[in-house]
Chain A
Amino acid sequence: MIDMANIPSTPPNPADQPRNDKRFRRRHFFERYPLFVMMAALMLFTLILVAVLAPLLAPYDYTAIDLRARLQAPVWMEGGSWNHLLGSDNLGRDVLSRLIYSIRLSLLVAFIGTIIGAVLGTALGFLAAHFRGWVDDIVMVAVDFQASLPFFIIALTLLAFFGNSMMLFIVLMGIYGWERYARITRGLTLSAITHGYAVSMRTLGATPGRVYLRHVLPNISSTLIVNMTLNFPATIIMETSLSFLGIGIQPPMTSLGNMLGFGRDYLTTAWWITVFPGITIFLATLSMSILGDWVRDRLDPTLK
């Protein structure tokens, strides 16, 4: 039953195979970039494009109310019309326009959150590795604390005590996941600063900041990027879950999660309010995960 698959297959060496015909090249291309990965990349690219071009693409203002066209079905169903391609909601607002603006806000929050988390975690990881001693202890206790409680619960608590505001919400999305960057950065830095290149830079008189940012960071960046690809879909799910429960993004702003949350009351009469944002979240997280898996396999074979 031990099959040959466990033996790592070495990629064909181009020198041994001087074939250069079209078919070979095409096959080679798909081996490097599998179809799933291409589709995932295309999906993400489309979503980002929609987010950036939202004001141009949306046929209506996403808050525009039209009480005469309430709960209208999508265009291909009975009772649908070309006025509202994906139908309208309980206040007659255009579902397509709301969807476009929701994609914009959800992606924006996830991007900002991921970047804040990465910068914060990496910086603290460097500090812990540089100073060791009590700085290290404090950072590691904070890491353990955050890992000991699901972040969803921490976010709920803080939103309950301080009340909901966009600022706090974005900060929370930023704090989410910082501990993984900190742990990775600290561990990798501790081993990197004993390596020849870091030692010689220090001997040459480079400041610690320069050593960490110009020399250590590029060397550990692939692992950090892999972590970002894991963190991004998780942040989207975190944001949409909180918004779905009504304690995340608040109206009049619209996110994929709160669209779904409000549409839930109209499941029996107007499924389209909930299903379109739901599918969008699913596709966004799925394509990010597929792409992330692929990036991980390419950049960091140790992290399986």
Chain B
Amino acid sequence: MPTRYIIQKLLRALLTIWIIVTFVFIVLRLSGDSALMIFGPDVDAEAIKTLREDWGLNKPIWQQYLFYIEKVFHGDLGKSYLDGRAAFDVVMERIPKTLSLMGVTAIVTFLIGIPAGIYSALHHNTKTDRMTMTMSVMGLSIPNFFLGVLLILLFSVAWQILPSAGSETGWHYVMPVITMATAEASVFARFTRSAMLEVLNKPYIRTALAKGVPWKNVVREHALPNAAIPTVTIAGFFVGSLIVGGVVTENVFAWPGVGRLLVNAVANRDLAVVQVAVLLIAFSMVATNLLVDFAYGWLDPRVRDLRGEST
């Protein structure tokens, strides 16, 4: 990968982070007295005064801004007024639960979505293909909160075989994972299918067939690796939709993760926590997109072999 490509992508990631932090800073200032916002209205005047000095709120706006950026990079972002602890710690301790739910969902999504898409493409315009695509449209159209509620109605209320809330055992994963993976697998099936179809139409496939390579090998050695490249590009989108899906799903199933914390904090206007959660989500999105760019540069020889030329 050319250094120039790497530097370009890194600069872009830094720029995005800077914009996001600035955006949060502006919103925080526009929304009113940030001392009150962070501490909540019940705190005595002395504490607010200390905080104002602590956060440099009595300084000119550009100094406040620099001060804010410094605080962000130290992870020092105020206290949750709901439980009085540092907002950063409050969010951090919820991360493992969210990550484990996202991880299991991602595995299930890959296991269902990608094979379904490949199969559909290889059986283009057959009944199975059309059925898979119909199911994918339906999977995309059903809102995940409704799917979650339906699952609870069936498995917890009517048949009473699965727990409807909590995260203690493996059984607790079943319904949240189905809820999240349905839409994700639908997207993957569609995307993999169209990537495969596009590759199968390429001249090099015809060439391989013409020189007598068996169909199985053509698919395995020529079609699949080439179709995998565009699939990498939706990884960024995938992480974003896992985060959003997670926020909704965690709330449906009372899953003690970041998403539930975030919605709770929004409803109670616990702004320090909202701020930390949002910055965390933003940073992980930027990091994912950066990784996607690098993976793409590494996978695609057209980018990989550019030596110092401009991209």
Binding site for B on A (CB under 8 A): 1-3, 5-6, 141, 144-145, 148-150, 152-153, 156-163, 233, 237, 240-241, 244-247, 257, 260-261, 264, 267-268, 271, 274-275, 278, 281-282, 285-286, 289-290, 293, 304
Contacts and interface: CB of A to CB of B under 8 A. Distances in A.
Nearest to B12: A144
Contact of B153 (A149, A156, A233, A271): A271
Contacts of B149: 260, 264, 267, 274-275, 278
B243 A281 contact: no
Given A156-B262, A161-B31, A281 B143 contact: yes
Given A156-B262, A160-B271, A241 B20 contact: no
B269 interface: yes
12 contacts: A141-B19, A150-B240, A153-B278, A153-B281, A237-B143, A241-B248, A245-B263, A278-B146, A282-B141, A285-B143, A289-B140, A304-B194
A124 to B, nearest CB: 17
Given A148-B289, A150-B243, A282-B146, A157 B140 contact: no
Contacts of B278: 153, 156-157
Interface string B34-76: 0001000000000000000000000000000000000000000
B201 A6 contact: yes
Contacts of B152: 267
B263 A247 contact: yes
Contact of A156 (B20, B138, B141, B274): B274
A157 B27 contact: yes
Contacts of A149: 20, 240, 281-282, 285
B247 interface: yes
A247 B145 CA distance: 14
Which of B141, B251, B271, B282 has its CB near the most chain A CB atoms (within 10 A)?
B141
Is chain A's interface secondary structure helix, strand, loop, or mixed overall? Answer: helix
Contacts of B145: 240-241, 244-245, 257, 260-261
B82 interface: no
Contacts of A244: 143, 145, 248
A150 B282 CA distance: 9
Contacts of A3: 124-125
Contact of B274 (A160, A275, A278, A286): A160
Given A260-B146, A286-B141, 20 more contacts: A6-B124, A141-B15, A145-B20, A148-B285, A149-B240, A150-B240, A150-B244, A157-B274, A158-B27, A159-B266, A160-B266, A160-B269, A162-B30, A162-B31, A245-B263, A260-B145, A261-B145, A267-B149, A275-B150, A282-B142
Nearest to A5: B125
A153 B19 contact: no
A172 to B, nearest CB: 13
Nearest to A290: B137
A156 B142 contact: no
Interface string B238-279: 001101100110011000000000110111010100100010
B228 interface: no
B141 A289 contact: yes
A240 B140 CA distance: 15
A289 B139 CA distance: 11
Contact of B243 (A5, A153, A241, A257): A153
B35 to A, nearest CB: 14
Chain A to chain B: the 4 pairs with minimum beta-carbon distance, closest first:
A278-B146, A286-B141, A161-B31, A5-B125
